[in-house]
């Protein structure tokens, strides 16, 4: 520049506008380097830096770090006793439902036995006395808890007179 005394710092500064470092081509990245000089991701010589990890590898690393952080934070949290109470209440409900279903099963077996007793003559005519008694024994054993014989009686131990006659001939 003409008319500037470069030995006098004040005259040089008076000629340079205040925003020169934002507008001048040679200082385009100067601000980023000055502001982020402690940030290792911003460099004044990016072409001299070695190649880093890929984006997917960085994302996986940050995901693992986040999982570890969350696990550590979860361990440091106090134990929620209210959640324990909810679990116990749910468990008590499930146990109550199981007991209720057993009660219903027992009541249905008792009602089946009562129906069979009321219609004993009809059952004996249709099923033969042996099959009737086998079915009754199966229901009674189910009622008492010996489930093996009850299951076989329900699965088809009931035989007609023809089937019994066929077995006797063999």
Q: What is the pLDDT of residue 97?
A: 95
Please state the φ and ψ torsions of residue 4, each to the nearest 5 degrees. -115, 130
pLDDT tens across the length of the chain (170 residues): 677 888 888 888 888 887 776 777 777 666 666 776 677 776 777 788 788 888 999 999 999 999 999 999 988 887 766 667 888 889 999 999 999 999 999 999 999 989 888 888 888 888 778 888 888 888 888 887 744 444 444 444 444 555 555 555 55
> How is residue 95 annotated by DSSP?
H
Q: What is the pLDDT of residue 126?
A: 81
Residue pair 43/34 in contact (Cβ under 8 Å)? The answer is no
- CA 160 to mean position of chain CA atoms: 52
> How is residue 78 annotated by DSSP?
P
Q: What is the pLDDT of residue 101?
A: 93
Query: Cα-atom radius of gyration of the chain, to the nearest Å?
Result: 45
Q: What is the pLDDT of residue 81?
A: 63
Residue pair 134/158 in contact (Cβ under 8 Å)? The answer is yes
């Amino acid at each position: 520049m003409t008319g500037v005394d470069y030995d006098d710092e004040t005259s040089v500064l008076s000629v340079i506008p205040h925003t020169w470092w934002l507008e001048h081509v040679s200082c385009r990245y100067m601000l980023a380097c000055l502001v982020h000089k402690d940030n290792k991701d911003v460099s004044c010589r990016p072409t001299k830096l070695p190649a880093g990890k890929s984006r997917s590898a960085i994302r996986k690393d940050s995901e693992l770090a986040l999982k570890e952080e969350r696990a550590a934070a979860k361990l440091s949290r106090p134990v929620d006793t209210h959640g324990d109470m909810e679990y116990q209440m749910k468990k008590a409900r499930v146990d109550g439902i199981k007991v209720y279903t057993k009660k219903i099963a027992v009541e249905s077996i008792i009602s089946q036995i009562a129906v069979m007793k009321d219609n004993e003559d009809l059952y004996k005519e249709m099923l033969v006395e042996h099959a009737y008694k086998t079915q009754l024994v199966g229901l009674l054993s189910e009622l008492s808890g010996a489930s093996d014989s009850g299951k076989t009686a329900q699965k088809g131990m009931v035989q007609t007179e023809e089937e019994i006659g066929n077995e006797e001939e063999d």
